[in-house]
């Protein structure tokens, strides 16, 4: 604190007694700069000259969690959790795994009870960790995408307008506070809406199984289909025209495949740079969707597309699909030529 105060990074509360809560955030950011190899005395000099400022951290969206008065061992004992599970959860979320004597962050006090309920319900610890990894990877991508848009659409234009870094951060943070006040509840609404679709689909499957067992409704038995779409000449185009072209092509591809596949009851599973992997419940719908995507690719400014498709049993886990059907579909896609759809 003394070093931070000397460098002008932290500012004592009025009257000189104690420090405001925002100074804890200033210290965190300063420590991150230090770990990145930036000289703190240089940062202090930039602050003194008005070229850098930590004042933006006083905005509401930067009110990050503080630390509780409990250790992880104490909380684990209270909740009946193993330290192995807690460490595994932190690693799955991309955070440093804590030691037993480390002080628990306040946000962990909200996270850890949810783990306790999951384990008590009979969900295996490795399953809890595996599912949490999906949360972590998805949320990290969301946060990174937000930061990239904020940087290119808000921060950089403000700097180009002639603002200094402190002025830009104050203006950008004012917008950020307004945005997050609206987006936090909106984010939960979007998540719950996704749950609505998935949970209804799960109930329909249960109802179908029940009616099939009762002899009231005969279930149609057919395997799902896996589909791989790739762009022909993508690597050459990106090498010739640069990374921004690659990003634009990826965005156009994502828009096309999401619109067409969802119209036919399919869903993109993952994006693979110059291609996409899809899951379809209905093989026939997968074929129609593949033909439409290949036909529409040029109109979207994309290179010629080609698709490989195979129907068969798959294993679903953590939002992804595995098994021989997936591997065969990928190999078939590799044999397809430009504007071709190969089906087995």
Percent of the chain with pLDDT over 70: 94
Phi and psi at residue 66, to the nearest 5°: -95, -155
Confidence grade of residue 59 (pLDDT, cut at 50, 70, 90):
confident
Higher pLDDT, residue 121 or 15 = 121
Query: What confidence score (pLDDT) does residue 12 get?
Result: 63
The more confidently predicted of residues 231 and 20 is 231
Would you say residue 1 has pLDDT above 60? Answer: no
pLDDT grade, residue 242 (50/70/90)? Answer: confident
For residue 343, give Cα distances in angstroms to 23, 262, 293, 300: 61, 20, 15, 24
- Please report the pLDDT score of residue 190 as a whole number: 94
Average pLDDT, whole number, for the chain?
A: 88
| pLDDT at residue 205, rounded to an integer | 80
Structural domains of the chain sorted by starting position, each given as residue range(s) with its CATH number in brackets = 2-58 (no CATH), 67-191 (no CATH), 225-343 (3.30.70.1230)
130 burial (CB, 10 Å; 0-12 / 13-18 / 19+) is middle
Q: pLDDT at position 7, please?
A: 59
pLDDT one-digit tens code per residue, 298-329: 998 899 999 999 999 998 888 888 999 999 99
Residue 217, pLDDT > 90, answer no
183, exposed or middle or buried, with CB in 10 Å at 0-12, 13-18, 19+? Answer: middle
Mind listing the pLDDT tens digit for each residue in 115-132? Answer: 889 999 999 999 999 999
Q: State the Cα–Cα distance between residues 97 and 88, nearest whole angstrom.
A: 7
Task: Categorize the per-residue pLDDT at 2 as very low, low, confident or very high, splitting at 50, 70 and 90.
Answer: very low
Could you read off the pLDDT of 181-196 as tens digits, one per residue? 999 999 999 999 989 9
Q: Are 322 and 269 in contact (CB under 8 A)?
A: no
Q: With helix as H, strand as E and coil as C, how does the chain read?
A: CHHHHHHCCCCCCCCCCCCCCHHHHHHHHHHHHHHCCCCHHHHHHHHHCCCCCCHHHHCHHHCCCCEEEEEHHHHHHHHCCCHHHHHHHHHHCCCCCCCCCCEEECCHHHHHHHHHHHHHCCCCHHHHHHHHHHHHHHHHHHHHHHHHHHHHHHHHHHHHCCCCHHHHHHHHHHHHHHHHHHHHHHHHHHHHHHHHHHHHHHHHHHHHHHHHHHCCCCCCCCCCEEEEEEECCHHHHHHHHCHHHHHHHHHHHHHHHHHHHHHCCEEEEEECCCEEEEEECCHHHHHHHHHHHHHHCHHHCCCCEEEEEEECCCEEECCEEECHHHHHHHHHHHHCCCCCEEEC
């Amino acid at each position: 604190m003394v070093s931070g105060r000397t460098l002008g990074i932290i500012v004592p509360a009025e009257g000189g007694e104690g420090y405001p809560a925002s100074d804890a955030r200033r210290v965190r950011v300063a420590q991150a700069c230090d770990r990145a190899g930036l000289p703190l005395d240089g940062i202090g000099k930039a602050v003194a000259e008005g070229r850098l400022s930590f004042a933006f951290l006083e905005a509401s969206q930067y009110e990050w969690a503080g630390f509780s008065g409990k250790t992880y061992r104490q909380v684990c004992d209270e909740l009946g959790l193993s330290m192995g599970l807690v460490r595994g959860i932190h690693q799955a979320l991309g955070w440093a795994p804590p030691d037993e004597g480390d002080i628990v962050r306040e946000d962990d006090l909200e996270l850890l009870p949810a783990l306790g309920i999951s384990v008590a319900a009979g969900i295996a610890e490795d399953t809890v960790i595996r599912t949490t990894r999906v949360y972590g990877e998805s949320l990290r991508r969301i946060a990174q995408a937000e930061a990239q848009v904020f940087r290119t659409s808000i921060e950089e234009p403000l700097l180009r307008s002639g603002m200094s870094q402190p002025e830009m951060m104050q203006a950008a943070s004012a917008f950020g506070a307004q945005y997050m006040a609206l987006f936090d509840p909106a984010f939960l609404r979007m998540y719950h809406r996704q749950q609505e679709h998935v949970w209804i689909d799960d109930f329909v499957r249960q109802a179908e199984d029940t009616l099939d067992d009762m002899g009231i409704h005969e279930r149609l038995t057919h395997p799902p289909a896996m589909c791989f779409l790739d762009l022909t000449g993508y690597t050459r185009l990106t090498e010739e025209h640069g990374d921004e072209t690659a990003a634009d092509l990826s965005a156009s591809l994502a828009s096309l495949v999401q619109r067409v596949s969802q119209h036919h009851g399919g869903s993109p599973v993952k994006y693979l740079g110059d291609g996409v992997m899809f899951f379809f419940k209905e093989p026939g719908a997968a074929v129609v969707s593949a033909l439409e995507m290949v036909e529409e690719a040029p109109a979207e400014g994309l290179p010629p597309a080609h698709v490989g498709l195979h129907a068969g049993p798959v294993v679903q886990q953590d939002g992804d699909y595995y098994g021989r059907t997936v591997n065969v579909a990928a190999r078939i896609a590799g044999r397809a030529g430009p504007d071709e759809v190969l089906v087995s």
